[in-house]
Amino acid sequence: MTVLNVNGQQHRIDVDPRTPLLYVLRNELKLNAAKFGCGLGQCGACTVLVDHEPVFSCILPISVLEGRYIRTVEGLGSEGRPGPVQSAFIEEQAAQCGYCIPGMMMRAQGLLEHNASPSDAQIRDAMAPNLCRCGTQMRILRAVRRAAKAMMADAGTIQETAK
Amino acid sequence: MNAMPPLTRRLLLTTGGALVVSFALLPKLAALAQNVPKLPGDLDKTPMLDSWIAIDAQGRITVFAGKAELGQGIKTALIQCAAEEIEVDPAGITLITADTERTPNEGYTAGSHSMQDCGTAILNAAAQVRGILIELAATRLNLPAEQLKATQGTVVANDGRSVRYGELLTGQDLHRPAQPTSPLKDPKNFVVIGKPMQRVDIPGKLTGKPAYVQDMRPNGMLQARVVRPPSYGARLTQLDAGAVESMPGVVKVVRDGSFLAVAAQGEFQAIDAMEALSALAKWEQGPVLPEQATIYDTIRQLPSNDSTILDKGTPGQQGAHTMRATYHRPYQLHGSIGPSCALAIFEADKLTVWTHSQGVYPLRNALADMLHMPQQQVHCIHVEGSGCYGHNAADDVAADAALIARALPGRPIRVQWMREDEHGWEPFGPAMISQAAASLDADGKLIDWQYDVWSNTHSTRPEGPAGNLLAARYLAQPFAQPAPKPIPQPEGGGDRNAIPIYTVPNARVISHFIPQMPLRVSALRALGAYHNVFSIESFMDELAHAAGADPVEFRLRHLDDSRAHDVVTMAAKEFGWQPDAKLPRGHGRGFAFARYKNLAAYCALALELEVEHETGAVKLGRIVVAVDSGQAVNHDGIRNQIEGAIVQSASWTLYEEVTFGRDGITSRDWSSFPMMRFPAAPESIEVHVIDRPGEKFLGTGEAGQGPAAAAIANAIADATGARLRELPLTAARIKAAIGI
Amino acid sequence: MVWRVLLTVVVVIGSAFGAFYAWAWNSEIPPTNAPATLFDPGIVAKGAQLAAVGNCGICHTQAGAKPYAGGFPVQTPFGTIYGTNITPDPDTGIGSWSETAFRRALHEGVDRTGNHLYPAFPYDHFTHATDSDIGALYAFLMTREPVAKANRAPAVPFPLNVRLFAAGWKLLFLHKGQIPPDASKSAEWNRGAYLAESLGHCGACHTPRNVLGGEKRDGQFAGGQSEGWLAPALNAASPAPVSWTAEQVYAYLRNGFAKQHGLAAGPMQPVVRNLKKASDADLRAIATYVASFAGLQNDADREQETQKALDFARSRDSKVPMPPSGAITTSTRADAKPGRTNNDSAAPSGAVIFVGACASCHHSGGELPVSRPIELGLSTPVNAPDPAALLRIVLDGIHPSSGERGPIMPGFSRALTDPQITALVSHVRSQFSRQPAWPNIAAALTKVRQNKEPATEAP
């Protein structure tokens, strides 16, 4: 039995502890966002956050994740109430087939939690582990910049309110 | 957002309209085809209006399209077409796509045909349905039709009375053939077409809603994986699978000849079992592959069927300058980010397959052939997958799922290929060779043009016979691969866009179709147009240089088509193209233009890049594009497609090449087949859409591929003085060409 | 008397210093304007190959910036020295250097104006280069694109920042002059010796250094350090389970990969990238020379050793059989053995981590068509005397340069916790190596994490 904290909820998982997180998210927890792309840590379609760090869930056994904070796109927001990164991607229409986009959004979320206003070069470097075959890169970059601005503005609003 | 399809047959059979639809789907009668003018778009193949549009008593509108969403945004554009002409809010339309029991048979979603064929059909069907609704209302209200107007799902009379659509229609009112002409709206009055509308599928995909066939997980589903042979044609000679069958979670090892698969409860268990099976299996190696180093010579030496596809004037004129050049393009991957996936269930002698195939009907026929079942007993339903960019492994994995499902009746079987399977076994975009020769007169005008292109087929898609399904060729009773056929002009396959769009008085173009296929190949986005436009547009720059002309002006000099003029001029203007621009050392700019298939969208682009002299590495700068897709339904959708085509083509052009040894394909993942990553993406891409209200839709999805490749090659030549004619234009090749 | 003695001492010290100073003093060589057009293209081409062998581009290029324009941080135990601009820009580069000035820099470690250069610039090797090779290198550099980019001052603490210290260093470690050929060896070996010992400066990383930073003369190729990575021994002390042959060294230098050893990682990656421009003959010569230091020189012995190593590697390189679902829990230590170093009992076992995190690439799957790495049992880092290199790879992974074909290994620096990495590395060692367990992986990990060098300068 492995206990996982996913998007703030505790789950008791009864599968082989060597099973990579991706399969548990998708099949045991029925979370669709993280995708199988290569199973080799080369494409980033499976990217999720663990303790604020973007990681490849396809090569991370659940046994190493007890007591750690896992987040997926489902934790960023919902169709009715999308989070700032999701809103930015929707506003920029930053998807074609969309298969890689959840991984992109988690990679972007991880970046923005560490660096609230990254330069263009920093965004490109941070996003480098993730591949998009449809060629949506330009829109993804725009969406990450838009999300950064929105999150900064939100943070500003929160600060203002606090005053 | 498409909800996941229901799984039980009962649910499928009880969904309303199924019976009507099956009747409506009867193919057009031969008698109808006689002396009847051609109907717009795919109405010509499926003329009954209720095959396309259904309106229930509550006024809910369902549109049926035989084309599928592949990530190109077609659902949104089709909904816009329907909403505009039926006069309803787009949100009120349910769109059903590609389902062999519900939608028209529109063949494949391919070749940038969706708007031309399906969009046109729906636009016209919707207009005709509106006409019928108005007629019915006229009868009901006893008013002349001129005094009635359709708006927001209601027919409104001048006198203020109104009838809702749902109240007007009874049973068979829409069960009538479409007419050759439709009461289309004046584009001036459009409120949906050409207006901004966000993609209907994006919010769900971005919030973790089930959106892909990969996301389906009905109760009782088993996860399956296939153990592919070590190489093409290898045969499974020995296997003792006992140890694997007793592995945790394993339900069954399925073997039929050299087709080997395993189904398990858990996905990781299936992968684990697949690896264990792979370790136990003994294979007899298939025929060796040719040497990669000499592959182009090998291809040239294979027998070819030659056809002259253009013969104009008296080719062979000598001019002031005569130039020749040869261009090469390697095998390249579709490389979907999500490996191909399918779900199948075999129940009560019926097979149901959820697939991201581009053609559910042809797949159904091929599956029926493979399983020796009547076609009506096979039901294929399209569910989105990862972007495919042509004929990838979608159909193959559907065949895998079908074979495993047959061995485990009653259990839904989900199969997803591994990354190595996808890279190694998908049908590649074919390697190609072209030779161009042209002469210029003393005024720098083209007087002679000769062009030869050598290529395998660009379609080994499944049709009727099963032999184009990968697994079918490895069964104990194997199916032979059908003889490949060329795709005829004017669309063409290997010779797509081989005929120059430029005006040349004397010209000959020969297409050399090579039936024998050293590697497995099929349709990759743009087909031969990627290579031919790369060749022709590179050559045009070389000719412009020889003529001492600016490349943009040189192209315009030879273009008679005013719409071609417009996109070339707009791209140059928006880019700020100056004939005598002086650029910093190592910087270059390139221009290219094509009209896809010489009959679809026009696309011109200008770009700038920098070549690092010491390494040959290319850094892409600003890219400016002009595109004419005819009537533009969704401008942002067009921009998204063009941006994507350019980035994808840039990756093909700069980096990509399938590698192989004598024993098999060696590019098996993203490390051995690298593609563009974010740091190398262009600085910016700016797409200008030239809208042509009222004009025909022109397919756009593949229009950017060829021009992007040529513009990059032209800019590299501008930056370095070195002309590269063999794809990909890798840093190593550029460095070798520019020297020390 | 006392005064006289003191005076004598002062005079002696004073004159010694004076003599040293006089010895150490170098005159400025007047600036020149070397016109690029004067260089023979053949000489330039030869210079290009020598620049590749010398890997000039690595230390003289900042990540993401113009080649040869300087800025790369060379980390030394004595501080950080930034590679200088060696493009022909007259103000910030070496555009005003005559060939004589350039030769003096390589042979004597003195810049054009007469300053001593820090030995991070390996003139203790370059001093052996022939005048004609240096001339070719000069021709190559002077025909590069001039880039105006100011040099960055070294971050070296007092008193080491007094340049005269470099002169003292030279007294001890700079042995000028050409390397005498060894008549008992082949021409290829001698060519390799010349290239490896002069411009190639292999020993700069692969030979251990003493406390003053000089290469230990009795420890040639006995293994050193580079940018926080282990530069493994190339002599009999090599940790590679298979003794290197010339053919394998050649394959490794040419393609960055040798089947029996694995692939170039860390600072060796850019070296291999540069060597792409070196000639085949030169690479074969270097390979012949380097392989002559390997432990086993007898073919039969080597074959036997190789087979043993391969047999062992293959016997160990398999996935741990999958137990029934739920049979292993995170509290069970599948690979627990007495004496195993793992301080954190809460960490899942290394074997469990290995299957989920590593085995999708590092496994033997029969003829499963995976572009798979070599058997871990053959890996040098797995068999090395200390775990630093393996830890470095696990933390950072391996990444090819943009658009280039090459193995990708994701880094686990952020995905795994320190106890998890410790358990994993301990498992890999015991599972795949015949060498004894590493005694204190956790401490080594802490050190490797502290040593983390920024791959690029912060913008």
Which residue from B562, B736, B700 is spatially nearest to B114, judged by alpha carbons?
Answer: B700
Residue A99 C-alpha, separation from nearest chain C C-alpha, in angstroms: 21
Please report the pLDDT score of residue C377 as a whole number. Answer: 85
Residue ranges making up the domain that contains C200: 187-291
pLDDT interval class at C10 (50, 70, 90) = low
Kind and range of the H or E run holding C3: helix C2-24
Cα→Cα distances B138→B7, B134, B145, B168, C351, Å = 43, 6, 5, 10, 78
The residue among C353, C374, C355 whose CA lies nearest residue C416 is C353
Q: How far is B30 from chain A (nearest CA, A)?
A: 39
Mean pLDDT of chain C: 85
| Chain length of chain C | 459
**Does a structural domain hold residue C247?**
yes
What pLDDT was estimated at residue B148?
Answer: 97
Q: Is the confidence at residue B318, as pLDDT, over 80?
A: yes
Chain A residues with CB under 8 Å of B673 CB are none
Are C417 and C300 in contact by the 8 Å Cβ rule? The answer is no
Tens-digit pLDDT profile for residues A80-98: 999 999 999 999 999 999 9
Q: Find how far residue C456's CA is from the centre of its chain.
A: 17
Helices A101-114 and A137-162 pack at an angle, to 10 degrees, of 40
Backbone phi and psi for residue B80, each to the nearest 5 degrees, phi listed first: -60, -45
Q: Which residues contact C54 (CB under 8 A, 6 or more apart)?
A: C126, C137, C199, C200, C201
- What is the reported pLDDT for C359? 87
Angstroms from A77 CA to nearest CA on chain C: 24
User: How far does chain B reach from its first CA to its final CA, in angstroms?
Assistant: 56
Length of chain A measured in residues: 163
Q: Do C405 and B672 touch (CB under 8 A)?
A: yes
**A36, B462, B667 from A73: Cα distances, Å:** 14, 37, 31
Fold adopted by B213-285+336-425: Aldehyde Oxidoreductase; domain 4 (3.30.365)
Tokens of B671: 């490390």
Burial of A65 (0-12, 13-18, 19+ CB in 10 A): buried
Cβ under 8 Å to C: B residues 202-261: 227-228, 230, 247-249
Is the pLDDT higher at C225 or at B409? B409
The Cα B155–Cα B165 span in angstroms is 7
Q: Is B188 exposed, middle or buried (0-12, 13-18, 19+ CB in 10 A)?
A: exposed
Question: pLDDT confidence of B18, banded at 50, 70, 90?
Answer: very low
Quote the number of domains for chain A. Answer: 1
Kindly state whether residues C358 and C436 are assigned to the same domain.
yes
**Chain C contact set for A37 (CB, 8 A):** none
pLDDT number for residue B102? 97
- Locate C66 and state its tokens: 């113009």
Dihedral over alpha carbons B239, B243, B245, B246 (to 10 degrees): 170
pLDDT for residue A12: 96
Whether C364 shows a pLDDT value over 90: the answer reads no
Distance CA B435, CA B456 (A): 16
With a cut of 70, say whether residue B14 has pLDDT above it: no
For residue B591, the cross-strand partners are: B606
Residue range B292-303: mean pLDDT, rounded = 98
CB B71 within 8 A of CB A97: yes
Q: Is the pLDDT of residue C1 over 80?
A: no
Question: Residue B196: is the preceding peptide bond cis (ω within 30°)?
Answer: no
Q: Residue A9: which CATH number?
A: 3.10.20.30
Give B169-199 pLDDT, tens digit per residue. Answer: 987 889 999 999 999 999 999 999 999 999 9
- pLDDT, residue C166, reads 83
State the chains in contact with C (3 or more Cβ–Cβ pairs under 8 Å).
Answer: A, B
Where among C173, C195, C210 does a domain terminate? C173
Q: Is A54 helix (H, G, I), strand (E, B) or coil?
A: strand
Does residue C172 or residue B238 have the better pLDDT? Answer: B238
Specify the higher pLDDT residue, B346 or B23: B346
- We report the CATH number of the domain holding residue C216 as 1.10.760
pLDDT per position as a tens digit, B619-665: 999 999 999 999 999 999 999 999 999 999 999 999 999 999 999 99
Q: Give domain status of residue C457, yes or no.
A: no
Residues facing residue B602 across a β-bridge: B595, B628
Strands B250-256, B235-238: pairing is unpaired
Whether C145 has a pLDDT exceeding 50, the answer reads yes
Pick from B438-442, C8-12, C114-118 the range whose average pLDDT is largest: B438-442
- End-to-end Cα separation, chain A, in angstroms: 46
Do residue B740 and residue C140 have CB atoms under 8 angstroms apart? yes
* β-sheet bridge partners, residue B665: B660
Separation CA C28–CA C115 (nearest Å): 8
Give the pLDDT of residue C37. Answer: 62
Q: How confident is the model at residue C35 (pLDDT cuts 50, 70, 90)?
A: low
- Is the pLDDT assigned to residue C328 strictly greater than 80? no
Computed from CA positions of residues B357, B361, B363, B364, in that sequence, does the dihedral angle turn out positive or negative? positive
Set of chain A residues whose Cβ sits within 8 Å of the Cβ of B336: 99, 133
CA distance A26 to C335: 29
CB-based contact, C329 to chain A, within 8 Å: yes
CA quadruple B513, B515, B517, B518: dihedral positive or negative?
negative
Residue C455 has pLDDT above 80, yes or no: no
d(CA B403, CA B410) in angstroms, rounded, equals: 13
- How far lies C168's CA from each of C107, C125, C155, C172, C203, in Å? 16, 17, 19, 7, 21
Domain that holds residue A99: 2-162
Answer yes or no: is pLDDT of C104 > 60.
yes
The answer on pLDDT for C369 being more than 50 is no
pLDDT at B5 exceeding the cut of 50: no
**Strand stretches in C219-333, DSSP E:** 224-226, 229-231, 257-258, 262-263
**Res C6: pLDDT:** 66
Does the distance separating the beta carbons of C330 and A63 come in below 8 Å? yes
Q: Is residue C300 part of a domain?
A: no
- Structural domains counted in chain C: 3
Q: Which residues of B291-305 are buried (b: 16+ CB within 10 A; e: fewer)?
A: ebeebbebbeeeebe
Q: Once rounded to an integer, what is the mean pLDDT over residues B315-332?
A: 96
CA distance B705 to B526: 7
Q: What would the pLDDT profile of B475-519 be if each residue is shown by its tens digit?
A: 999 999 999 999 999 999 999 999 999 999 999 999 999 999 999
Summarize pLDDT for C51-65 with one digit per residue, the tens: 999 999 999 999 889
Give tens-digit pLDDT for A103-154. Answer: 999 999 999 999 999 999 999 999 999 999 999 999 999 999 999 999 999 8
Q: DSSP letter at C70? A: B
Q: Do B612 and C67 touch (CB under 8 A)?
A: yes
The whole-number pLDDT of residue C213 equals 87
pLDDT classification of C312: cutoffs 50, 70, 90: confident
A113/A147 Cα distance (integer angstroms): 11
CA distances from B641 to B96, B184, B206, B238 (A): 22, 27, 19, 48
| Contact assessment for residue B409 and residue B346, using Cβ atoms and an 8 Å cutoff | yes
The CATH number of the structural domain formed by B9-205 is 3.30.365.10
Residue C368 has pLDDT above 90, yes or no: no
Yes or no, beta carbons of A82 and B207 under 8 Å apart: yes
pLDDT at residue C454, rounded to an integer: 42
Please give the structure tokens belonging to residue C224: 């050193």
Up-side HSE of residue B559: CA atoms within 13 Å toward CB?
22
Tell me the backbone φ, ψ of residue B306, rounded to 5 degrees: -100, 135
C141 and C12 in one domain? Answer: yes
Question: DSSP state, B611?
Answer: E
Query: Is B611:B618 a contact under the CB 8 Å cutoff?
Result: yes
- C145, C191: one domain: no
Confidence label for B8 from pLDDT (cuts 50, 70 and 90): very low
Phi, psi of B555 (to 5 degrees): -65, -50
Residue B358: name the closest of B332, B321, B386, B378 by CA: B386
pLDDT at C345 over 50: no
- Return the pLDDT at C75: 86
Report the percent of chain C where pLDDT is more than 90. Answer: 56
Range of lowest pLDDT (B243-247, C19-23, C241-245): C19-23
At B672, list the tokens.
């051995």
Q: Which stretch of B37-41, B278-282, C124-128, C160-164 has the lowest confidence by average pLDDT?
A: C160-164
Determine whether the interchain pair A62/C353 forms a contact, defined as Cβ–Cβ distance below 8 Å: no
Task: Name the pLDDT band for B547 (thresholds 50, 70, 90).
Answer: very high
Residues of chain C positioned with their CB less than 8 A from the CB of A41:
397, 408-410
Tokens 């956050």 locate to A49
CATH number of B432-458+493-738: 3.30.365.10
Query: With an 8 Å Cβ cutoff, are C405 and B671 in contact?
Result: yes
* CA–CA dist B408, B263 (Å, integer): 9
- The band of C334, judged by pLDDT with boundaries at 50, 70 and 90, is very low
Q: What's the token pair of residue C346?
A: 């809460």
What is the number of alpha carbons within 13 Å of residue A1 lying toward its C-beta? 4
Q: Which of C387, C390, C382, C377 is CA-nearest to residue C308? A: C377
Q: How many residues in chain B?
A: 740
- At A49 the three-state DSSP class reads strand
User: How much is the pLDDT for A161?
Assistant: 55
Report the Cα–Cα distance between both ends of chain C, in Å, rounded. Answer: 64
d(CA C22, CA C26): 8
Q: Smallest Cβ distance to C352: which of A14, A55, A63? A: A63
Which regions of chain B carry the CATH code 3.30.365.10?
A: 9-205, 213-285+336-425, 432-458+493-738
* C134 and C11 part of one domain: yes
* Averaged pLDDT for residues B544-571: 98
Which CATH number is C353's domain given? 1.10.760.10
Percent residues over pLDDT 70 in chain C: 86
Give me the residue from B266, B267, B337 closest to A43, CB to CB. Answer: B337
Yes or no: say if B643 and A132 are a contact pair by the CB < 8 Å rule.
Answer: no
Tell me if B675 sits within 8 A of B303, measured CB to CB: no
Is the confidence at residue C289, as pLDDT, over 50? yes
Q: Look at residue A158 and tell me whether its pLDDT is greater than 90.
A: no
Strand partners, B510: B308, B452
Task: Return mean pLDDT, chain B.
Answer: 94
C-beta neighbour count of A21 within 10 angstroms? 30
Mean pLDDT, chain A, integer:
95
Structure tokens at C70: 């300087």
Is it the case that residue C16 has pLDDT exceeding 80?
Answer: no
Q: What is the pLDDT of residues B336-370, one digit of tens each?
A: 999 999 999 999 999 999 999 999 999 999 999 99
Examine the pLDDT at B30 and tell me if it is beyond 60: no
pLDDT-wise least confident of A83-87, B11-15, B87-91, C136-140: B11-15
Closest to B16 measured CA to CA, from B62, B47, B48: B62
Q: Please tell me the distance in Å from C427's CA to the nearest CA on chain A.
A: 14
Same domain, C287 and C341: no
C357 with A59: Cβ contact below 8 A: yes
**Contact list, A62 vs chain B (CB under 8 Å):** none
Q: Are strands B154-157 and B235-238 parallel, antiparallel or unpaired?
A: unpaired
The one-letter amino acid at B434: S
pLDDT digits (tens, 9 = 90+) for B420-445: 999 999 999 999 999 999 999 999 99
In contact, B57 and B87? CB cutoff 8 Å? no
C144 vs B contacts (CB less than 8 Å): 613-614
Q: Residue C174: pLDDT band by 50, 70, 90 thresholds? A: confident
Angle CA B494–B495–B501, to nearest 5:
145
Please judge whether C48 and B740 are an interchain contact, meaning their C-beta atoms are less than 8 angstroms apart: yes
User: How many C-beta atoms lie closer than 10 Å to residue B29's C-beta?
Assistant: 10
